[in-house]
Structure 1
Amino acid sequence: MSDLTVFLAPTGVAEGVKDVLKDLSAVGMVRPFLWVDGADADRAPTAACWVQGGREFDTTVQEVVASQRIFVLRLCVFVPLTGSLPALEVDTERRLAELLASTSGGANVVRLRLLLGRPGAAPPANAVLALDGWHNILVAPEDARGPGMGHIALTATDNTLEIGRHAAPVVAAVSGLWADVEHTPFDAKPVLPGNLVSLARSFYRRLDTSEVENSLRRQIFEQDGGLPLPRESGAPVTYVDDVPLATQTMASNLWGKHRAVLKGDRVPYEAEQTQTIGFWAALKMFFSFLGAALRNAPAAWYARVVNSVSASVAGAVHSTVYGNNPSAYEVVANGRTSQGRQASWKQVGSATHQLRDSLESTDSERHHIARVDLSDLWQDYAKAAMTLADGGARSAELPPVQIGASRGVLRRAADVIPGPAERFDRVPGIVAATIEVDGVDATDVIGANQLRGKLGELDQDAALGLEARRTGSALDEWQSRGGNSFGVAVGRTLAQNFHERHNEVRDLMARLRAHADAAPPAESKGHNKLARWIQITSVILVLIVVASAVGIAQSWFDWWIGALIIVGSIVLWIVVLVFVFLRGQQDLFQDLNRRKAAAANASADEANLRTALRDLDRLADAYSQYLSWSRALGAFLAEPLGPNRFERAAEGRIAWGLPKSTGIGYANPQRDQLSSTAEYLRQDLFGLGWLTPPWESALGNVGDFLGSDGRDVKADPTLLWRAPGAGSMSSLDRWSGEFFDGAFRSTGSELMWEKARMNLMGPKSELVQSLVGQIEVLANGTTTFVPMVDFMAGVGDEAGQGRVDHFDRSMVTDLAVTQGLTAVKDDVRQRGWAGIGTVSVATQISDGLSADQLRLESAETPTQTQDWSVPEMPDRRSSTNPAPSVEPETYDAPNREFRF
């Protein structure tokens, strides 16, 4: 609160003012105020009552002042000039003023003394009319409809309610109490020097348009699940008839833009092909086999050769996948839990994350695995959905639907992203308890398929089979009805890729197990036979060499002949054995080629398994975030402007008691005028891209809605886009769930109505004139309809446009009248807005009058009336007697006592 009004009043006529101000507070016309009874003013602390909304709350002056920061404090002291009860002592007034000045923290204290009187009434004996340093204001005893108009002079009375109903509007004006308008005529007005009193009167007009606004908002904002057709100059817009084409195209564009984030590159596989072994390699292999044959170990040689090119599957991968995480492997590879139940996508995702963590932990350099940031994907998801709904171009890769030269938008919010109303919840209680599922969101494609699978498992159950089949039929009908929406198309794409990656992981695991569990090379009979033949031929070769050596030594033939025989035998032996070896080992070469390809493909399988596990893990995260963002967007699109929270400031209407100076009127347009205005406003409000401000406003309110848990989101709104999704209890999960359930609502209607109100107050102001052409006025219980000009009676006009106004002269001496002191010196006018209605206040103030220029009756001596009539002159011609002598008339001044 920046300002505070405190009233100090004695018992008596001021109580009528309090009663009227309290009634005005009940209908929201005046601001809260503090009322101090003069009898309690000398207490410490000073007892008071706080008046707000037509209700009183006991408090103290010190508590109210100390509990808020106040910039302007107005102290208004009532001084009764009528009635039998005494006025407050001057010391009491000054003591409260000093208390407020010392405890208000340096607030600007405006001191007002409000004199309440009627002509012909006698003030209390202790009444002090004027104090130096105060604004001394006499509420003019008159009533008029508006400035410059004739008035009714109020008569003398001691009726507190009668005095209060005429004085209270003036008191509200001079003390700054009127709501919806900043009217404070004495805050900046200098205090008149000396003990002077000013006359004051005020006029008030309030044009209540709450019913009109309520009707306009209802016609503009209530969508009933439909989306308005945007209006944009130069850009024709039409509704889309082929919904599946529009939604699937947008979903394909979205997936094409972000596909690389969710699907990594795969290592290609090598195809089996026959490779020719070179002569030297074959010769080397032959001599290796020759040694093994001579050692009688051909089987060991064969195993060594084969294993040298075998697929050496990483032992860490095998032990990690199949040993350290058996439960995770069971869920991922078999798709079922240890209890034999079908695993959900959440369980598959969790097991995938475990396997991925285990594989990464086998690396030489361990590191933390960060979840992928998919915030760009979900921001584009929201942009694409709103583009389908309002035709706004938000991304070059996600263009609006184009139908010829026109942009296309969808008719129903459910065709964009289904909301809470489209959730499937027709699962009987007994079935829901058995399968542990009571419903599924329209966008949860995997959840719907898993629900169908669970229902199929109950199909043959004797007790639940019938209900399960009925539920399955209802599920099929529900899916066919909402399967063409954009949200479902995106979910179907994610679900399809999730299942593909899951199947890929299962296949790769099977391949790696096959590699790891491959049988060792079997012993070949051909190798043993060849080895025996090599052994025999080797023995024969040795015999030939020995015989040749003996022949040379015995000179059976020349040495060169023997040497030629030895060399030729060795060469022939080698050539023949190599030829036989190569022809006999074709199966060995083929096995080596197969094992080389298997070794390369096993490495590719291992690399592809890591990539596939990463993709599956990311898809599980993406699907959970997709469910949360679909909930939030579905709830938003179903009611993008939120609830129409507009209500009248007060339910009641004042039908009795208001003076002529105070008027409350109610706009009463025709139905066609309302419809026409609503249509004009819809054209301005619902242009291309109109959903962006309400959506950004909803996102901006997330931090406040989450309370203490939303501090981080409030400080960094991007955290919401990166938060985990469904089932994680993250800020996104909790907010989207509350949004879907209706606990969080969009506030777009307030933003849109403020835009509409600014249009009505500015470029579209001519529309307001049609709405307020006829004003409904309640006066003394009677309803009348008057034009706007007659209702305002000049209160809303600028000051100084007419003649000089004068106050009623009944409480001012003739001398003051001749001096022009009854003329209006200051005419302060303000205008405020209450919706599209107006609140106009005009307060008129006279120049200062001294106390002896006020006409007041004495409290002790009755007033002597002086005869100012001119005596009638006698007719000399008709009178024969001389004129009698006339005694001079004496004038006794009334016994008045003024205290200063």
Structure 2
Amino acid sequence: MAALNVLVAAKGQLAGLREVLTDWSGLGLVDGFIWVEQDMVTPTGIKGIEVIGGNQRAVSLQSMAAAAGNYDRIRVAVLVNAAEGALQVPADTGQRIALFLESSFGGRPVTRVRAVTARIQDLETVQEFAQEGWHNVVFAPEESSGVNQGHSLLYSTTDPFDLGRHAAVGCAGILGMWHGMEGSVLDHEMPLPGSNARLVRSFYRNLDATAVEQELRSQITNVGERLPLPARMGSSAIYIEDVALASRTMAEQLWTKHAHVLQGPREQQVVSTSKPIGAWTALKMMFGFIWAALKNAPRNWVNSMAVRIKSQAAATVHSVVFGSAPAQYTVVVDGIAPDGMPASWLDVREAAIGLDKVLENAGMPREHEIHADLSSLWQDYAAGALTLADAGERVPSLPPVQIGTERGVLRSPHSAVPRAADSFSNVPAHLNASMSLSPVPPYDVMGIYNTEQRLQTASADPNLGVPASTALNAMRGWKQYFADSYAVHVGNRIAQFLISTTSELQVVLQRIRQAGDAADSLAPVLQAQKKLATWMKIILGIAVVAVIVTVVLLLTATIEGGVAAAIIGGIVILWLITALIVFMRGQRELFRLLNARSVMLEQDEINRRNLRHILRDLRRLGDTYSQFLAWSHVVGNVLHEPFGKVEGQGAVKDVYVQGLPLNVKVGSAAIQTQSISMAAAQLRQGIFSTGWLNQSWTTAINGAPAQLGARGFEIAGNPDVLFRQQGDGDTSLLPLWIAALDEQGINNAASHEVWNRVLAELQTTRSDLAEGMTSAVNEVRGATVVQSTLAAFMSGMSQADAAMPSQFDGEVLTDLGRNSGKGRVERSVPFHARNGMSQWAGLVQLSQGIGAHEFKAYREAPSGPKWWESSAEQGVPTPEVCNVEVPDGPVF
């Protein structure tokens, strides 16, 4: 709760006090107040000028009474200018305002103060010097930079600014208006009896340490290239030296749990054994071959044999695939993109989608396909990265790295998941334009592989060879720097499955092509058919000649008919055996190929069904890889900026104020880089505990709906839906969130919690660090900014300094008052407040009660009407109602 300070003054030089307090209010040195002048008090109401933060506006106390609940105390101060001829606020006006405040503000306690601004040489100028029932104070006409440090006297002046700036110090001190000051020293005191008044003076110090705080906060929360060592059960974790082992082990543990998502079902091939060719089948085949040989067409015979074991279904599939989607076929089988360069994983994924659609259009059965829910995979992937960075326990199957009895953490966040901002883009513009190379992040192993292939291809080009080779060498060095990171190990496993599945698709397409095109598979034996046909014709010719000779011998009666028949039979049998043996040996390779084709045909149906499985695997693996890239981007951002965007380096705040009295000092803590760095290192050890990244990660995920804007409503009730989003595509929320995350960073809620813990330590157990970081102060002296120590800046604001005996200057008192020793400081009340490392301190000092007649400015009032008499009773005309306007400046 706050106090309402109402300052009542007459027109004239005290307007300078109003302007000074207004300026100080704008600078944050004093709290707000209400300024009331005599003519603002009318029979119908009390108006005033409200000053808050340097801004002024006209108000009425009646309207403010409706908001009395906003205040826990009210202070009303009637300001009296002791200068010769100065206008004074009548006692009854101050009394009326005080009574109104007591009766209209819900019974809030009201502290009444009558403050006189008396200067040296102000002699017998104030008749109503003290008023009974009020705290009567006189602002000591002196200024000093600290307690018992010497002082300068303040002499009578007609300069409203000079009068106002010194009066403002006493006014702010006695009314508790200094920023950081809680309450007034008079709030709980009874007014002195009779017409006694007290001398008062105050000191104030305002030290702004915003720049130091910003620099310290930046060094503590800015991870940069060095992760903090988290503490656990009183001991600190240690840095992992073998980064490759830790990253590979964590990646293997991840895939042990989730490897099943990388490959879909396959129908197993039935193992077939070779079937022997029977004698009758062999004879038929041989006679067919002999007949073809006699017609000089052995190849036609082979082709006719191939047609018998040709799969029309396989031929149809192959012709559809190759005929309807030649570009996709080339991408998959030959690994060549439409631009003639090596195909990327994106080309392969698009080719798989295209081929699957072609098969569907060709009449192959269509099935509903549901995108795999890989949310648990990406949650565990992120958990593994965070665990490597902070040694927290998140997933039982992904435990922290244990090194002896201590837990280990990676030294740098890029060893877990590098940032997308570290992408390789060191490619000359003309080379990039000719090859369409995009920057690739360190964890995009497939993108890196494709870029290397393209650069390797370009290095053979006479026009592009030199820059391509230079870029290729630079890329290999850059790649090696991130090769041991956890993200790269995880990406390698997906890449391996992508490559192996692409190879599997190539094999299946080759088998289907072979099943559909018999001629190709039998091509290796076609050349041997001509030679075999020649031998078969020679054997047949010899047999025919032998039969002819036998017949001639029979006709010439050289041999008998029985003998001739036996000879001819023997010739035929011998020819048959010989031809069959030669044929079987000559066609051994053909029979092997025919048998292999028979087995292939038996497996063709399975191959065609597996073709759909493989194509969908490629599509799913492509989706998985795109999600991997997206979540690596997100995790990399969180690891490198776990507390949001790093604010710029602290700069000295322009709080230097000229023209302040000696009693008031305003300064800024100077940035001492070495001191801040040492303090940050020490504070980090106690602030970060194992699992400290949990809040940053939760903050990032829960902040996604707000960062997504209008589309955030889709996941407003369950931000974890993000883990089921695709890694790319216009309908996915994940790319949109990544763009917002890159621009805005995560919410700094986690940063606030860590910073509050830091401030708590700095104000309690580590106050020595705070003092060390603010030990040098920049302040204005005269018209120059100078640097001093914190002790010199504070100069006597401590409790010990306040307890030291001190004395007011007695020049404002009569000889009687000065000689009686009443100028001694009877009470010193210090105050001290902090906000972070910024601090405010001050001291208010009061004398004992001094009779009004013992002040030089006191003038005895002539007998006349009393303050409790009404204006009518006093014969004073009632002032007319006025409209209050906020003045532009002092009015004299």
- Output the CA distance in 1 between the equivalents of 2:510 and 2:776: 83
- Output the CA distance in 1 between the equivalents of 2:57 and 2:438: 54
1:729–1:791 CA distance, 2 compared to 1 (3 A): farther
Residue 610, structure 1, aligned to residue 612, structure 2: yes
1:141–1:48 CA distance, 2 compared to 1 (3 A): closer
1:375–1:273 CA distance, 2 compared to 1 (3 A): same
- Output the CA distance in 2 between the equivalents of 1:511 and 1:477: 41
User: Are the counterparts in 1 of residues 391 and 407 from structure 2 also a CA contact under 8 Å?
Assistant: yes
State the 1:225 CA deviation.
1.4
- Output the CA distance in 2 between the equivalents of 1:77 and 1:665: 31
One-letter amino acid matched to 1:652: V
Cross-structure match for 1:834: 835
Q: Which whole-Å deviations, capped at 9, do the CAs of 1:821-865 have from their partners, x for residues lacking one?
A: x9999x99976431145445778999999xxx977999xxx9767
Cross-structure match for 2:474: 474
- Output the CA distance in 2 between the equivalents of 1:428 and 1:108: 79
Cross-structure match for 1:723: 725
Cross-structure match for 2:168: 168
Residue 263, structure 1, aligned to residue 263, structure 2: yes
What are the equivalent positions in structure 2 for 1:860-871 lying under 5 Å apart?
Answer: none
User: Are the counterparts in 2 of residues 232 and 687 from structure 1 also a CA contact under 8 Å?
Assistant: yes
Cross-structure match for 1:402: 402
Question: What SS does the corresponding residue of 1:371 show, helix, strand or coil?
Answer: coil
State which of 653, 668, 687 in structure 2 corresponds to 1:650.
653
1:466–1:364 CA distance, 2 compared to 1 (3 A): closer
User: Are the counterparts in 1 of residues 215 and 650 from structure 2 also a CA contact under 8 Å?
Assistant: no
What are the equivalent positions in structure 2 for 1:70-149 lying under 5 Å apart?
Answer: 72=70, 79-82=78-81, 117-119=116-118, 140-142=138-140
1:424–1:94 CA distance, 2 compared to 1 (3 A): farther
Cross-structure match for 1:302: none
What are the equivalent positions in structure 2 for 1:840-859 lying under 5 Å apart?
Answer: none
State the 1:385 CA deviation.
1.9
One-letter amino acid matched to 1:834: N
User: Are the counterparts in 1 of residues 20 and 165 from structure 2 also a CA contact under 8 Å?
Assistant: yes
One-letter amino acid matched to 1:643: V
Question: What SS does the corresponding residue of 1:373 show, helix, strand or coil?
Answer: coil
TM-score by length of 1: 0.64
Question: What SS does the corresponding residue of 1:402 show, helix, strand or coil?
Answer: strand
User: Are the counterparts in 2 of residues 393 and 689 from structure 1 also a CA contact under 8 Å?
Assistant: yes
Question: What SS does the corresponding residue of 2:451 show, helix, strand or coil?
Answer: helix
Question: What SS does the corresponding residue of 1:753 show, helix, strand or coil?
Answer: helix
- Output the CA distance in 1 between the equivalents of 2:386 and 2:276: 63
User: Are the counterparts in 2 of residues 445 and 488 from structure 1 also a CA contact under 8 Å?
Assistant: yes
1:670–1:504 CA distance, 2 compared to 1 (3 A): closer
- Output the CA distance in 1 between the equivalents of 2:710 and 2:95: 47
1:657–1:466 CA distance, 2 compared to 1 (3 A): same
Q: Which whole-Å deviations, capped at 9, do the CAs of 1:162-206 have from their partners, x for residues lacking one?
A: 443344356557877654x483569999999xx999989876555
1:629–1:847 CA distance, 2 compared to 1 (3 A): farther
Cross-structure match for 1:253: 253
One-letter amino acid matched to 1:721: F
Gap runs ≥5 in structure 1: 278-305, 523-586, 866-890
- Output the CA distance in 2 between the equivalents of 1:339 and 1:214: 52
Question: What SS does the corresponding residue of 1:455 show, helix, strand or coil?
Answer: helix
1:845–1:430 CA distance, 2 compared to 1 (3 A): same
State the 1:505 CA deviation.
2.9
State which of 759, 772, 778 in structure 2 corresponds to 1:757.
759
State the 1:738 CA deviation.
5.3
State the 1:137 CA deviation.
7.2
State the 1:754 CA deviation.
2.0
Per mean C-alpha deviation after superposition, the further-off stretch among 253-262 and 239-248 is 239-248
Q: Which whole-Å deviations, capped at 9, do the CAs of 1:311-340 have from their partners, x for residues lacking one?
A: 895999889867877766665555555565
Residue 685, structure 1, aligned to residue 683, structure 2: no
Q: Which whole-Å deviations, capped at 9, do the CAs of 1:736-756 have from their partners, x for residues lacking one?
A: 345557866867554433222
- Output the CA distance in 2 between the equivalents of 1:175 and 1:707: 49
Q: Which whole-Å deviations, capped at 9, do the CAs of 1:128-162 have from their partners, x for residues lacking one?
A: 9999xxx9876642379999999999776554334
Question: What SS does the corresponding residue of 1:688 show, helix, strand or coil?
Answer: coil
- Output the CA distance in 1 between the equivalents of 2:730 and 2:801: 59
Cross-structure match for 1:793: 798
Cross-structure match for 2:696: 694
State the 1:436 CA deviation.
2.1
Aligned residues: 751
What's the C-alpha RMSD, in Å, of the aligned pairs?
6.4
- Output the CA distance in 2 between the equivalents of 1:791 and 1:863: 32
User: Are the counterparts in 2 of residues 373 and 722 from structure 1 also a CA contact under 8 Å?
Assistant: yes
What are the equivalent positions in structure 2 for 1:271-290 lying under 5 Å apart?
Answer: 271-273=271-273
Question: What SS does the corresponding residue of 2:117 show, helix, strand or coil?
Answer: coil
Cross-structure match for 2:436: 436
1:451–1:864 CA distance, 2 compared to 1 (3 A): closer
User: Are the counterparts in 1 of residues 825 and 845 from structure 2 also a CA contact under 8 Å?
Assistant: no
One-letter amino acid matched to 1:81: V
State the 1:429 CA deviation.
1.0
Question: What SS does the corresponding residue of 1:786 show, helix, strand or coil?
Answer: helix
One-letter amino acid matched to 2:117: R
What are the equivalent positions in structure 2 for 1:390-539 lying under 5 Å apart?
Answer: 390-419=390-419, 422-512=422-512, 514-515=514-515
1:622–1:7 CA distance, 2 compared to 1 (3 A): farther
- Output the CA distance in 2 between the equivalents of 1:648 and 1:168: 30
User: Are the counterparts in 1 of residues 669 and 776 from structure 2 also a CA contact under 8 Å?
Assistant: yes
- Output the CA distance in 2 between the equivalents of 1:510 and 1:775: 80
State the 1:383 CA deviation.
2.1
Question: What SS does the corresponding residue of 1:754 show, helix, strand or coil?
Answer: helix
- Output the CA distance in 2 between the equivalents of 1:340 and 1:651: 62
Cross-structure match for 2:286: none
- Output the CA distance in 2 between the equivalents of 1:220 and 1:808: 53
- Output the CA distance in 1 between the equivalents of 2:237 and 2:359: 54
- Output the CA distance in 2 between the equivalents of 1:98 and 1:323: 101
Q: Percent identity?
A: 29
Question: What SS does the corresponding residue of 2:791 show, helix, strand or coil?
Answer: strand
State the 1:11 CA deviation.
5.0
User: Are the counterparts in 2 of residues 810 and 855 from structure 1 also a CA contact under 8 Å?
Assistant: no
Cross-structure match for 1:540: none
Question: What SS does the corresponding residue of 1:266 show, helix, strand or coil?
Answer: coil
User: Are the counterparts in 1 of residues 775 and 790 from structure 2 also a CA contact under 8 Å?
Assistant: no
